[in-house]
Amino acid sequence: MPSADLHDWNLAPREAIALQTRLAGYVERADRLEPVRRIAGVDIGFEQGGEITRAAVVVLAWPPQASGESEPATLEPATLEIVEQVVHREPTRMPYVPGLLSFREVPAALAAFERLTMTPQLVMVDGQGIAHPRRIGVASHLGLWLDLPTIGVAKSRLCGRHTEPGPERGDWTPLVDGPDDEVIGAVLRSRVKVKPIFVSPGHRVSLATAIDWVTRCLGRTKLPEPTRLADRLASRRGERR
DNA sequence: GCGACAG
DNA sequence: ATCTTGTCGC
């Protein structure tokens, strides 16, 4: 893989696209992960009309801690315990351009990761993985730079075609793209009667494994816990005092 | 030329 | 993404 110092984050669209095309060749779509004990969720938010970028990383312990029998039975899914969380703020450097999201968000995410005291074995990113025009969305790009397994979890579609997934939680249909109908992700029904989410391999994770982990991390909401908690932190919610 | 378009 | 109140539903 190219050394990080060769990566310029302030590129003109034309150069950014050329770099993505080159980096896409390094994205691994086969499973290559260590036993999972910690799963991280990453998301980026903005302040002051977009002047400031906020990167949030939340690390959760796996497997879930068994719900104490003396605790108020909180229904089904066991709670994923937060073992560490970090928020990094910095001036926003690039505008949002569909297809070039990673150049706007990855720098801040990397800075946040540098402040973590523990390393996760798996990372869930808010955005697409290989379900991208050049097969290198923000999740893949971040995974490449962190050299960690990543999964893209997006709330909407960037590219590709698909049919409507079944109504039950866990139902999914393939997201395909290109003239050869290449499978680039899955449209997953994470909650009954709720718009599905788009799951795709980021780096070092197969589609089957990506779907499996996202499903295993589903709590009571539409988004899997790692992404949901990072979302809350990045966008200021959940900060009660 | 006319849409589509992660966050 | 963000600006924002109340409101429908489990």
Helix (H) or strand (E) holding A18: helix A13-23
Distance A87 CA to B1 C1' (A): 45
Asked if pLDDT for residue A43 goes beyond 60, the answer is yes
The confidence score (pLDDT) of residue A73 equals 46
The confidence score (pLDDT) of residue A9 equals 81
A43 annotated ligand-binding residue: yes
Q: Is the CB of A128 under 7 A from strand B?
A: yes
Backbone torsions φ then ψ of A104, nearest 5 degrees: -90, -35
Average pLDDT over residues A220-238: 92
Asked if pLDDT for residue A72 goes beyond 90, the answer is no
Average pLDDT over residues A188-215: 97
Mean pLDDT for chain A overall = 92
Please, which positions of strand B sit below 7 A from a protein CB? 5-7
pLDDT single digits (tens) A106-130: 999 999 999 999 999 999 999 999 9
Do A106 and A9 contact (CB within 8 A), yes or no?
yes
Average pLDDT over residues A11-19: 94
Closest by Cα among A228, A163, A158, A165 to A196: A165
Rounded percentage of chain A residues whose pLDDT exceeds 90:
85
> Which of the pair, A238 or A20, is modelled with greater confidence?
A20
Residue ranges near strand C (C-beta within 7 Å): A 44-46, 49-50, 96, 126, 155, 231, 234-236
In chain A, where are the structural domains located? 38-234
Tokens of A135: 């097969």
pLDDT confidence tier of residue A48, bands split at 50, 70 and 90: confident
Distance A209 CA to C8 C1' (A): 36
Angle at A93 between CA A58 and CA A108, to 5 degrees: 20
Asked if pLDDT for residue A68 goes beyond 70, the answer is no
> Which of the pair, A75 or A48, is modelled with greater confidence?
A48
The confidence score (pLDDT) of residue A240 equals 46
Average pLDDT over residues A4-20: 86
Asked if pLDDT for residue A7 goes beyond 80, the answer is no
Average pLDDT over residues A162-179: 96
Please, which positions of strand C sit below 7 A from a protein CB? 1-3
Q: Is the CB of A100 under 7 A from strand B?
A: yes
Backbone torsions φ then ψ of A234, nearest 5 degrees: -65, -30
The confidence score (pLDDT) of residue A27 equals 98
The confidence score (pLDDT) of residue A192 equals 93
Find which nucleotide's C1' atom is closest to A100's CA.
B6
The confidence score (pLDDT) of residue A75 equals 44
Average pLDDT over residues A59-68: 84
Q: Which fold has domain A38-234?
A: archaeoglobus fulgidus dsm 4304 fold (3.30.2170)
